[in-house]
Amino acid sequence: MRAAVLDGALIGQFSRVPPRRALPGFGLTMGYTLLCLGLVVLLPLSALFLKTATLTWHQFWQTVTAPRVVASYGLTFGVSLLAATINLFAGTLVAWVLVRYPFPGKRLVDALVDLPFALPTAVAGIALTALYAPTGWIGAPLAELGIKVAFTPLGILVALVFIGLPFVIRTVQPVLQDLDREYEEAAISLGASRWQTIRKVVLPTLAPAILAGYVLALSRAVGEYGSVIFIAGNMPFVSEITPLLIVTKLEQYDYAGATAIAVVMLLLSFVLILAINLLQRWQSRRGQ
Amino acid sequence: MARGHTFVATRANTEPRWMRIVLTVIALGFLAAFLVVPLAAVLVEALRKGWATYLAALVEPDALAAIKLTLLVAGIAVPFNLVFGTAAAWAIAKFEFRGKQLLITLIDLPFSVSPVVAGLVYVLVFGQQGWLGPWLRDHDIKILFAVPGLVLATVFVTFPFVARELISLMQAQGNDEEEAALTLGASGLRTFWHVTLPNIKWALLTGVILCNARAMGEFGAVSVVSGHIRGQTNTMPLHVEILYNEYQFAAAFAVASLLALLALVTLVLKAVVEWLEERGVAAAERAKKVADSSESAARTPVPADARAGQALAVA
């Protein structure tokens, strides 16, 4: 019933402007698309907001501002921002090396970059935990230096860097490939140094792609669950991420509580991504 | 550079040699530390207690049930998204309508929703306290903590994969070829099958490969709706988690190594598809160039490799 109303509204919204020559199948494919979208995505997501509405404002506020929950927002968003920032610099460097410098085995390395997309997150989680545990290949030497990675927020950072690794590389790579080197040569023939050329000519061209990759890596990191829970240690107030709190509430059959936290998390990441996009628009307007 | 301008590396327009080497080493070192080493760790940990333990962990009944369930769930979710993605791409790329950008954003939505939240929304719809919970209980239909719930959660998280691969490509290709086929009297379905599909087959394949990898490897969303019933609702990633939490590390990594193998196969297939696609595009461009020049000089013979290219582009 609700689906029919929803789809009706959407079909009205997407009413068709007649094309020059009609290909067949618009009604069928559009109807099927809206039906699937409504039933699989929109209708279940709307349940999130309707469930939250069953709480009074006071209950909602108490749930989402409980000290343990607030600590988890700080951790989740703080470590996600840090991981995405690391990927911003490392990803730009890797894209630059992959496009500009020749080295043997490039095709293999290029294919391997997508590994975090293809490797199930649970596998990444236990592999990274085994590596960075105090007895692991990387964890043992670090432990001798007094650095604990696994079962601390630092471990979460490692997992989120892994998960977000391909995003910046894959957004920057095609732009860099299409970048005409004549601009760089023009800058140099006008007397700019190599470093000036990169800073004033190359980086501004890449900036939108870098930022797009950053936003993708960030939004992936904020919601990430599988790879983090193994390595995090999951100590309340210290290394407990927001998605885990949602699962914990669900396991206690506190559906409304879980939903309230999920809504806040969605809103926070929406605001964050909006802010980054606005910042970028403001920056590019100032640059003109 | 293929733009009629030859790029010559000089001291001024590229970095000094030592810097290029340093940057390459840093980049490759970063990739090795974050990609190669974890992959190697999975294999080493899996074989730590020898081949016998490794194989025993894979043929154990709960592991076999998990493998079967994973194949079943992906076997339903991937074809569903293949059909949905193709239909959505056709409607979005081939027609003009208001609200197109909004529709694309809505299709991409599952990418920016946490997998845990994806599972949660289905609990809210189908759970005991959910919208349909009481009705489902009265009619003895199990969705949550059963295969349908796993399939739904998987469809949700993989929803945009195929559509996303196809939409931008089909928009770039335009409608000219389809319109020509229709003018020549082909039916809509025939036009799609013989004109559109050959043009999008590589992107379609890439979408299916990535969709399948995510479908088989999904953890968060599936974990919320599965109920973790051993031998019944545990997919492979969930089975890995249970073994790991029971300190059966060798067995956990043995099942994980199968999933790592799946990831490697995915990467290889994706690279092969990209290579075939590049070859097809290059051959088609060569054929087009030859066709153009033979139009101006009508008697120029068409070289064999260009004809092969044309055939390949058509096939």
pLDDT tens, B198-209? Answer: 999 999 999 999
Per-residue confidence (pLDDT) for residue B303, from 0 to 100: 46
For the record, the structure tokens of B296 come out as 């101006």
Residue B23 in contact with partner chain A when CB distance is under 8 A: yes
Q: d(Cα A28, Cα B192) in Å, to the nearest integer?
A: 14
- The interface predicted TM-score (ipTM) is 0.86
Q: Which band of pLDDT confidence, cut at 50, 70 and 90, is reported for residue B301?
A: very low
**B97 DSSP β-pair partners:** A16
Per-residue confidence (pLDDT) for residue B178, from 0 to 100: 93
Give the H or E element holding residue B315. none
Cβ within 8 Å, pair B121-A36: no
Higher pLDDT among residues B68 and B305, named by residue: B68
Dihedral sign of CA atoms B246, B247, B248, B249 in order: positive
Residue B39, amino acid: L
* Residue A238 backbone phi and psi in degrees, to 5: -115, -55
Average pLDDT over residues A231-260: 93
Contacts across the A-B interface (CB distance below 8 Å): 291
Residue B28 in contact with partner chain A when CB distance is under 8 A: yes
Tell me how far CA of residue B303 lies from CA of B282, B309, B314, in angstroms.
15, 10, 17
Chain B residue at shortest CA distance from A270: B112
Residue A98 has pLDDT above 80, yes or no: yes
Chain A residue at shortest CA distance from B39: A127
Q: In chain B, which among 284-313 make CB contacts under 8 A with chain A?
A: none
Percent of chain B with pLDDT over 70: 89
Among B117, B123, B236, B243, most A C-beta atoms within 10 A, so best to mutate, is: B117
Among B124, B132, B216, most A C-beta atoms within 10 A, so best to mutate, is: B124
What is the per-residue pLDDT across B5-44, written as a single tens digit (0 to 9) for each? 555 555 556 788 899 999 999 999 999 999 999 999 999 9
Average pLDDT over residues A30-36: 97
3-state helix, strand, coil in chain B (%, to 5): 75, 0, 25
Indicate the average pLDDT of chain B: 88
Per-residue confidence (pLDDT) for residue A278, from 0 to 100: 84
Q: In chain A, which residues have their Cβ closer than 8 Å to the Cβ of B96?
A: 16-17, 19
What is the per-residue pLDDT across B71-120, written as a single tens digit (0 to 9) for each? 999 999 999 999 999 999 999 999 999 999 899 989 999 988 999 999 99
Average pLDDT over residues B57-63: 93
Residues A32 and B80: beta-carbon distance below 8 Å: no
Q: In chain B, which among 107-146 make CB contacts under 8 A with chain A?
A: 107, 109-117, 120-125, 127, 129-131
Residue B4 has pLDDT above 50, yes or no: no
Residue A34 has pLDDT above 50, yes or no: yes
In this structure, of A41-45, A167-171, A190-194, the range with the lowest mean pLDDT score is: A190-194
Chain B residue at shortest CA distance from A99: B24
Residue B298 has pLDDT above 90, yes or no: no
CA distance B299 to chain A (A): 36
